[in-house]
Amino acid sequence: MSGFDFDLFVIGGGSGGVRAGRVAAKGGAKVALAEEDRYGGTCVIRGCVPKKLMVYASAFSESFEAAKGFGWTVGKSSFDFSELMGSINTELDRLEKLYLKGLQGNGVTTFDTRATVKDAHTVVLPDGKEITAETILVATGSRPFIPAVKGAEHVISSNEVFLWKALPKRILVVGGGYIACEFSGIFNGMGAEVTQFYRGAQILRGFDGEVRGHVAEEMVRKGVNLHVGTDVSFIEKKTDGLHVTCTDGSTHIVDAVIYATGRIANTDNMGLEEAGVKLGRKGEIEVDQYSQSSVPSIYAVGDVTDRVNLTPVAIREGVEFVETVFNGNPTAMNHENIATAVFTQPEIGTVGLGQEEAGGLYNIEIYRAAFRPMLNILAGTDERMLMKLIVEQNTRKVLGCHIVGPSAGEMIQMAAIAIKMGATKEDFDRTVAVHPTAAEELVTMKEPVA
C-alpha cells in the first residue's frame, strides 16, 4: 500500500460510493468509507425509493374509481398518511441495514461521520484524526437548492417532505422539473389541494416537447392547479396559512410550500479547492471520462460531478472507477442513451433524443401513437397514452423513444436495450407484437406522422 492507511477512502455512503467501496474491497483493496448521515444516500433515504412508494400509494385513489367500471362495488375509502410514512420508514431502515451489511461484509471499514479532504492523499475526521489513502473517491451527492426568496424560512425542500407526520390540506409546489411534477401528482392523488408554479413556459424542460405538453394536460385534468410562467414574489406566514404572492400579483393561501427548483453539489467546506481539486461554477467536481479530478489521486462519481444525475448512473460510474483504478482496465462511463423513468402521473419513460434536439442534428421521421389504453375504456377515463419514435431518415436508426402512460418506466427499460444496440425502425417493425398490450404500439407504428 506504499505506506498509506488505506488503498481507497470513499467519502459518501450513497449509491455510487457504496458500490465503488464494496466492489473495490471485494477485489482485495483495503477500503474505508465515511458517511455523515444515513447509508443509502439521497436515493434510498430521501429520494427515489420513498418517492416511488408514495407514488404507489397515491395511485390507489384512481384505481378505486376505475374498479367500478369493471363491476366492483367499492366502499368508502380513507387514507392515513402517517401509517404510510411509518411503513415507508420501516422499509428504509431495512434497506439502510442492507447497504451497511454489504460494506462491512466485504471488509470495508466504516466511519459514521463527516470526512473532509486535507490534501491529495489525506482525509480528516471531525475529531481531528487524519487518515491517508492512495486514492480518494468523493461521492457526496447533491442537495436541494432553494433560491433567496423573501419568506424562504417558511418553505421546505423535497428532503423534509419525507419527515411529515400528516399531509397538509393545501400544498404549493414550486418548480417544473421531474421532482416537482412527481410530488404534485403524489399529493394530488392523496387528496391534497395542489398548486404548482413554474416560471418557464412549460414544465419538464429538456424532455421531448410533445411529452411535456401531454403530461401537463393530464396533470391539469387530474386536478393539479398548474401555473406556468409564474413564480413566487414573497411568502408571509399568517394565522390561516402561508400567503404566497406570485409574480402576477395574485395571492394563494396554502399550508405548505415545497421548493423543487434544482439541486447543487455537496462540495461546500470539504477542502477540495484547497487540495487543488477544480470545481465548476455550480460547485460540481470537474472530472474526465474516467471520473478523475484535476488531482490525479482524487476521483468523484455521482451527482457531485453533475454529469447525468441518476442513481443507476452513479452506481455504474462507481463500478467503472474500480475497473479503471484497481483492475488496471481504464473504462470510461458511456453517458449516451441512458433511459430514465419519471414517475409523474401519467408516468414517463424516455431514452435517446427528443424531437426538437434530434431535428436540429439530423433529418428525422416521427412515428406516433396516441390512444386510450384498454383499462381506461371500461374505467371511463379519457386519459390517453402517448408513444413516439424518433428515426433518422438515412440510417433508419431509432434515435429516441418516448412513452407516456401506465408502466412507461417498465417498457422503456426494454426499449433502451434495442436503442443502445443501434436498432433501426425496421428492426422494430420486424418484431411481432404482444397482444393485447399497450407496448405493442411500439412495433405497429408503420407510417410517419412527420
> What count of other Cβ atoms lies within 10 Å of the Cβ of residue 274?
11
Q: What are the residues whose beta carbons fall under 8 Å from the beta carbon of 378, sequence distance 6 or more?
A: 69, 70
pLDDT at position 387 is: 98
Phi, psi angles (nearest 5°) of residue 142: -140, 170
For residues 157 and 237, the answer to whether their CB atoms sit within 8 Å is: no
With 0-12 / 13-18 / 19 or more C-beta atoms within 10 angstroms meaning exposed / middle / buried, residue 41 is buried
Mean pLDDT of 201-230: 98
Angstrom distance (rounded) from CA 188 to CA 55: 10
Residue the block writes with cell 436495450: 417
Cα angle 162-166-169, degrees, rounded to a multiple of 5: 110
Mean pLDDT of 119-145: 98
For residues 207 and 350, the answer to whether their CB atoms sit within 8 Å is: yes
Mean pLDDT of 79-107: 97
Distances (CA, A) of 57 to 78, 352, 379: 12, 30, 19
C-alpha grid cell, residue 296: 490525479
Mean pLDDT of 53-63: 97
Start-end of H helices in 162-275: 178-189, 209-222
pLDDT at position 203 is: 98
Angstrom distance (rounded) from CA 29 to CA 446: 54
- Residue-wise pLDDT tens digits, 344-389: 999 999 999 999 999 999 999 999 999 999 999 999 999 999 999 9
For residues 171 and 274, the answer to whether their CB atoms sit within 8 Å is: no
| 217 pLDDT more than 50 | yes
CA dihedral 151→153→157→163, nearest 10 degrees, is -140
Domain 152-261 CATH (choose: 3.30.470.20, 1.10.3720.10, 3.40.50.1010, 3.50.50.60): 3.50.50.60
For residues 409 and 349, the answer to whether their CB atoms sit within 8 Å is: yes
Angstrom distance (rounded) from CA 282 to CA 316: 23
pLDDT at position 418 is: 98
Mean pLDDT of 239-258: 96
Mean pLDDT of 399-408: 98
Q: Which CATH class is domain 6-143+264-325?
A: alpha beta
Domain boundaries, the chain: 6-143+264-325, 152-261, 340-443
Phi, psi angles (nearest 5°) of residue 340: -145, 150
C-alpha grid cell, residue 83: 401509517
For residues 72 and 48, the answer to whether their CB atoms sit within 8 Å is: no
3-state secondary structure of 34: strand
Q: What are the residues whose beta carbons fall under 8 Å from the beta carbon of 76, sequence distance 6 or more?
A: none
Give CATH superfamily name and number for 340-443.
FAD/NAD-linked reductase, C-terminal dimerisation domain (3.30.390.30)
Parallel, antiparallel or unpaired: strands 142-144 and 251-254: unpaired
Which residue among the candidates 154, 335, 402, 435 is catalytic per the annotation? 435
* C-alpha of 259 from chain center: 16
| 215 pLDDT more than 90 | yes
- Is 402 one of the catalytic residues? no
Say whether 340-443 and 152-261 share the same fold. Answer: no
C-alpha grid cell, residue 245: 404572492
- Residue-wise pLDDT tens digits, 94-115: 999 999 999 999 999 999 999 9
Q: Report which secondary-structure segment, H or E, holds 325.
A: helix 311-325
C-alpha closest to that of 302 among 274, 269, 335, 261: 335
- Residue-wise pLDDT tens digits, 300-316: 999 999 999 999 999 99
Mean pLDDT of 282-293: 98
pLDDT at position 268 is: 97
If you ran DSSP here, which 8-state letter would residue 14 be given?
B
Confidence tier at 1 by pLDDT (50, 70, 90):
very low
If you ran DSSP here, which 8-state letter would residue 433 be given?
P
* C-alpha of 201 from chain center: 22
C-alpha grid cell, residue 121: 492523499
Phi, psi angles (nearest 5°) of residue 425: -60, -35
Average pLDDT in the chain: 97
Query: DSSP readout, 328-346?
Result: S-------SS--EEE--SS
Angstrom distance (rounded) from CA 348 to CA 370: 14
